[in-house]
Amino acid sequence: MSLLASFAAFDVETTGVDPERDRVIQLGAVRLEGGRVAARWSRLVDPGVPVPLAVQRLTGITPSRLAGQPSLEEVLPEFLDFAGNLPLVAHNAPFDTGFLAAGLRGIGRVLAGPVYDTLELARLALPAHGSYRLQALAEGLGLAPSAERYHDALADAEAAALLFHRLLEHLRTLDREALALAIRFLRPAGDRSTGSPSGGNPGGDHGAEPPLVRLLSRILAGPVSPDAPRRGGGGEPGVAPRPPARNRQPAPDFDPETMADWLAGPGFPSL
């Protein structure tokens, strides 16, 4: 069973990219349970501002479709009820949460669960992937959302849900050393304990850690996937075979420009 057996993925379509000036025109969400879509929810939103022609062409959402629709403040309670207390998932999550923030403040509500970003997760799990756009990732991994188009909030929410589930499965198969290093790299400065896979509690209480760090710590502390690499083709699971030391560079010390190259090097599987 997946590390997070149930979660809710969501997406917004907007009139632009600036949450201070632009507005939401569609909010969609999907609940995933045990790797399968359990429920879908979507609402059009009257933004109260003109919708640029480029956005209409991209999303297929025209002013006539938005006429008479509820405001974001009216739609948000439905969305919060749909998501409940489940963990939340979005692709490029700061963009989506940024657009919801003003509406949430207006109704005195907050997002109940932690928010996981599939963009951030994909960059970690797939360091050699050519593009991290949601559509490119979903198509590259053979995921098939039920909707026929992207830039639709419901279709994108479903793609993000399926992508998150696949990435979690993949992370459980990674070399434990790679996971420990990723945790060190992602922790805020001053709290970069090694998170060694042997001994101790790598997923212990580290204060206000980013959701991704807490997630990786849980994976590292949990059982090793049967699909994890084994040293020499058998033996200890979760440790990838290592090339001779002369053929492999030592792990970088938190250099973001070389971290991805190191994780993508020999011994670390990719999807």
pLDDT confidence of residue 215: 92
17 belongs to a structural domain: yes
Which member of 151, 165, 170, 206 is catalytic? 151
* Residue 168 and residue 3 in contact, taking contact as beta carbons nearer than 8 Å: yes
| Residue matched to tokens 């997923």 | 203
Do residues 161 and 191 share a domain?
no
Q: Is the pTM of this model over 0.95?
A: no
Instruction: Please say which residue of 122, 148, 170 terminates a domain.
Output: 170
**Residue 174 scores a pLDDT above 90:** no
Q: Are residues 82 and 143 in the same domain?
A: yes
User: What residues make up the domain containing 145?
Assistant: 6-170
- Domain annotation covers residue 187: yes
Co-location of 130 and 188 in the same domain: no
| pLDDT at residue 2, as a whole number | 52
Give the angle subtended at the CA of 140 by the CAs of 135 and 141, to the nearest 5°. 105
Q: Report pLDDT for 185.
A: 84
Asked if the structure places residue 16 within a domain, the reply is: yes
Q: How confident is the model at residue 6 (pLDDT cuts 50, 70, 90)?
A: very high
Structure-model confidence comparison of residues 221 and 93, the more confident one? 93
Mean pLDDT, range 54-68, rounded to an integer? 96
Let me know if residue 38 belongs to a domain. Answer: yes
Selection from 154, 162, 158 nearest residue 27 by Cα: 154
Instruction: Tell me whether residue 268 is in a domain.
Output: no
- Mean pLDDT computed over 93-119: 94
Which CATH number covers residue 126?
3.30.420.10
201 and 145 both lie in a single domain:
no
Would residue 270 count as lying in a domain?
A: no
Residue 68's pLDDT band (cuts 50, 70, 90):
very high
Mean pLDDT of 150-179: 92
Residue 165 is a catalytic residue: no
Number of domains making up the chain: 2
Work out the percent of the chain whose per-residue pLDDT is above 90: 53
> What does the alpha-carbon distance between residue 228 and residue 211 come to, in Å, rounded to a whole number?
23
Q: How far apart are CA 236 and CA 211, in angstroms?
A: 29
Q: Are residues 36 and 83 in the same domain?
A: yes
Nearest-angstrom CA–CA distance, 24 and 174: 38
Does residue 24 sit within a domain?
yes
* 210 and 149 in a common domain: no
Residue 190 in this model has a pLDDT that exceeds 80: no
194, 85: one domain: no
If you average pLDDT over every residue of the chain, what do you get? Answer: 80
| Domain stops at, among 117, 150, 170 | 170
Write out the two tokens for 245. Answer: 């030391």
Say whether pLDDT at 175 is over 90: no
Residue 138 and residue 192 in one domain: no
| Per-residue three-class SS string for the chain | CCCCCEEEEEEEEECCCCCCCCCEEEEEEEEEECCEEEEEEEEECCCCCCCCHHHHHHHCCCHHHHCCCCCHHHHHHHHHHHHCCCCEEECCHHHHHHHHHHHHHHHCCCCCCCEEEHHHHHHHHCCCCCCCCHHHHHHHCCCCCCCCCCCCHHHHHHHHHHHHHHHHHHHCCCCHHHHHHHHHHHCCCCCCCCCCCCCCCCCCCCCCCCHHHHHHHHHHHCCCCCCCCEHHHCCCECCCCCCCHHHCCCCCCCCHHHHHHHHCCCCCCCC
Angstrom distance (rounded) from CA 99 to CA 45: 12
Residues 77 and 160 in one domain: yes
pLDDT classification of 226: cutoffs 50, 70, 90: low
Same domain, 138 and 201: no
Residue 222 and residue 94 share a domain: no
**Of the ranges 60-69, 242-251, 256-265, which one carries the lowest mean pLDDT score?**
242-251
- 91 within some domain: yes
**Residue scoring higher pLDDT (199 or 156):** 156
- Domain-terminating residue out of 110, 140, 170: 170
Asked if residue 189 and residue 166 are part of one domain, the reply reads: no
Query: Whole-angstrom distance between the N-terminal and C-terminal Cα of the chain?
Result: 19
